[in-house]
Copies of this chain bind each other. A is one copy, B any other.
């Protein structure tokens, strides 16, 4: 009964999260519970905490693997570093940055919301203006999504760092890397990010259940004086158990720990840079298909193109929700809905996580058939052809098979 919506063959999962889990990760999690106070679990955790830093490209950061979701990871980032009333500059560019800002406000911070049209990136000119004016350093933190999942927009974090440096501004940089880390080029140390976070069900390609938060030394320092009320999300409890070598202030999921071990092993085997290149390939191929279909990318400029999710704008006579519904009902294809301001106007193709070229091409041919079904005059094969032309030139041999 639990599978009452079963359709033959594989489900083609192309939402921007949760994403496809590699078989070795599913296998690694296919296991019993264990006593997390035995010597085995701390030993496993210790190495995980060391290895997980690589996905943030940090050596100086301190990671926290929290049994929560991205929303909880946001809360962890904010409450551990800031006090009620603190001023944050935050960029509203789509549904997920909006939700984060809502959280910031409900947690009692004083948020300067810098809004862009959905489909555009964070307005860094406004940031610059604010930094220039803020000689008193009343801005305590910049909160920014690296990649806005709702619109497929990637913000330029290097520029954020440059501006802060230019104005010698000490504000903390808090980055939502939920749909970027492990897929896009993210450089915590180089860009001076103070808190970066992601969720296990995104590019790390695991089930939902872990919020992974990484804190710079400056963020850790800030946590000592931050007055926000927190217990479950309090880094202090984690740090106390890190020191004791038992690592867990409360019960972790044994299955997810072994799953993360397997996921990091696969990442190591493929190589993070190769993973990023693969996402670049899949993102580029998707955009070429969209162009071939004669449709518009929600993302307005190339500088913001996202290699993890593409929001496709549909003609006004089509409800994008119908596309998503129909794809699932007829072709066992899961696409992302348009959310809030772009509801009905865009559908989203998630191309992050454990995916390869032929999976994407199968998805793109499915999208073509769905577009035809809903009345858009697409030329069947056009998007696939454009994508394949590019992929055929750019896809490397699988290293382990050469």
Contacts and interface: CB of A to CB of B under 8 A. Distances in A.
Interface in A220-235: 228-234
Interface in A387-402: 388-389, 391-392, 395-398, 400-402
A254 B34 contact: no
A300 interface: no
Contacts of A72: 67-68, 232, 250
A365 B369 contact: no
B70 A337 contact: no
B388 A369 contact: yes
B368 A388 contact: yes
A6 interface: yes
A4 B34 CA distance: 14
Contact of A27 (B27, B363, B396): B27
A187 B380 CA distance: 37
A240 to B, nearest CB: 12
A61 interface: no
B5 A356 contact: no
B229 A106 contact: yes
Interface in A1-22: 2-13, 15, 17-22
Given A32-B26, A391-B369, A250 B71 contact: yes
Interface string A149-183: 00000000000000000000000000000000000
A147 interface: no
B18 A34 contact: yes
Interface string A23-47: 1101111111111111110011000
B333 A358 contact: yes
Contacts of A23: 31-32
Contacts of A30: 26-27, 30
A149 B330 CA distance: 30
Interface of A: 2-13, 15, 17-24, 26-40, 43-44, 67-72, 74-75, 84, 102-103, 106-108, 199, 201, 207-209, 228-234, 249-256, 258, 261-262, 266, 269-270, 275, 278, 328-334, 336-337, 354-363, 365-366, 368-369, 372-373, 379-382, 384-386, 388-389, 391-392, 395-398, 400-402
Q: Which 8 A-B pairs have the closest CB atoms?
A: A381-B385, A362-B362, A9-B356, A18-B33, A35-B334, A361-B365, A7-B398, A381-B381
Given A71-B249, A232-B75, A329-B397, A388 B361 contact: no
Contacts of A332: 356, 358, 398
A282 to B, nearest CB: 10
Nearest to A102: B231
B361 A361 contact: yes
Contact of A67 (B9, B22, B67): B67
B373 A381 contact: no
A67 B233 CA distance: 13
